Structure 1
C-alpha cells in the first residue's frame, strides 16, 4: 500500500529533536511504501507565527535530507475552506457561540468532583455555560464550540485504527467518554478563524493523508478528529502515535528547549545521521 504522510509544524519557534523524530519517521514510513511525504505549515495563529521561523523550518528539514512536493500547504491561506466546514456543522445544528473567557470557565467549573476529569484534549473541559445560545446570537469576540453530546449522538459507533506499538489495534470512541472527558471543543478561536481540531481534519482530507504520524500526547485528541471526519463526510486515516522525545528528566521537549533545537545541533557540527541516531532512527 502506497501511503501519504505529512509533517505539520507551526512557525512559532525552532524545531527541536522531537520535531526531527516526527518528521523523519513520517518521511521514512512514506518512502518505505514508495509513497508521498508532505509538509504543511500550521500558521492559523497569526499572532504568534513568524516568517523567520517558517524559513528555518524549511532549512532544518532540508538539512535533515527531507524533500516534499511544492507548493507547501499553509493554513493561513485556507480560511475560506475552514469557514465552509463550519457552515456544514452549523447546518447540522451542532455549533454555538461562546463568550466565556478562561477565567469564566475556571469559575463556572466550580469545585472538582472526585474521579471526574477536569482537563481533556482541548484543555479545561467546558461546563456548557453558553450551550443554549443560537448561532444567530454570535457576537464579535465569541468563539464557536461544538455541542459534543449532540454530535456524538449522530455517530455513536465510531472507531479508528492505530499502528503504533503502544496503542496498536482498533479503538472504539465512546459517546460517553467524549462527553465526560472531552466536552464542547472550540471550532473557531478568537481572532484566528479556525482551530487546530477543525483545520487538521480538513487539511488531512484535502491532502489525501492516509497515515497520520504524530506524538502520543495527541492520542486522546484523535477521537475528536474522527468524530469531525464523520460529521463532515471525510475519510479517516490510519493513525500512528509515536513515542515522545524527552529530556534527561523525562519531560517532553517543547519549543522553549532551544538547547535541543535542530539549528543548535547543526551549528555544533552534528550531521543528519547523528540526529537520526540521537532520536533512535539510525
Structure 2
C-alpha cells in the first residue's frame, strides 16, 4: 500500500515506489523568498548576511541563484561565524561604507569624522535562527543600516519573541510553513475546527497531517482508483492541491513539494501577505 510519510525519506533507505514524503526544503524556502522580494516587492538590489555553516551557505546560494534568475542583483554576500556575538566588522563590509559623517567627538580643535554607510542595496536577507537574528538586528541599526527591507526565514518565526523585539522586526518579511492566524478560508476553517476539539491552535505538523489526509481521501474518491497501483498513480498526479499549508504538488518520485506562507511584521502584528498566484 502507498505510505505517506510526514517527513523526508532518504533515497538510500531502499525502494520507494509506494512511498510519498514531505519534502519541504530549506532551498525551496529561500527561492520562495527571493521570488517574493523581486516579483512582488519589486526589489532588485539585495545583499545576504548569513552564518558560515551548511544551512547558511545553502540558503545563500539558493536565494542568490533565484534572485539572479529573476533579473535582480545580489550586491554582496557576507558570512559570519555561527557562534559570533559582535558583528561590527562584518556589518561594515556588508554596508560598504563609503562616506564620512560628522561626529560630536573632538580631538583638539578638529572634528573627528566617522563613516556613514552609503547603502547600495534595497533589501537584506538574513537566514538564521531567531536567537541570532535578535542579536544582529540591533547591531545593524547601531551601524546605521536602516531603511532597507529585512527578509527572513521560517526560523525567525517565534511570535512571542518578535513581539518583544517589535521595534527591530517592524516591517520585516519572513517565510513560515504554516500560519494559524491566516485569513484564508481553508486555514480559518481548519483552525476553528481544531481549536473547538482541542482548545488550542494547530501547529505545522498537525496542519501537514490534515493536508495529507485530505489528499488521500480525494484520491480514494476517484473512480479510477481500484487497487494500490492505481492509488499510487493517482497520488503521483497531484498538482497544485490547495491545502492549509499552502499549495502542494507531487513529483513522480513521490516528493510532496510545498510552498511557504509569507508573513510581515506590520503595525505590531504579524500578518499574512502570501501572494495569490
TM-score normalised by the chain length of structure 2: 0.32
Structure showing greater Rg: 2
Structure with the larger strand share: 2
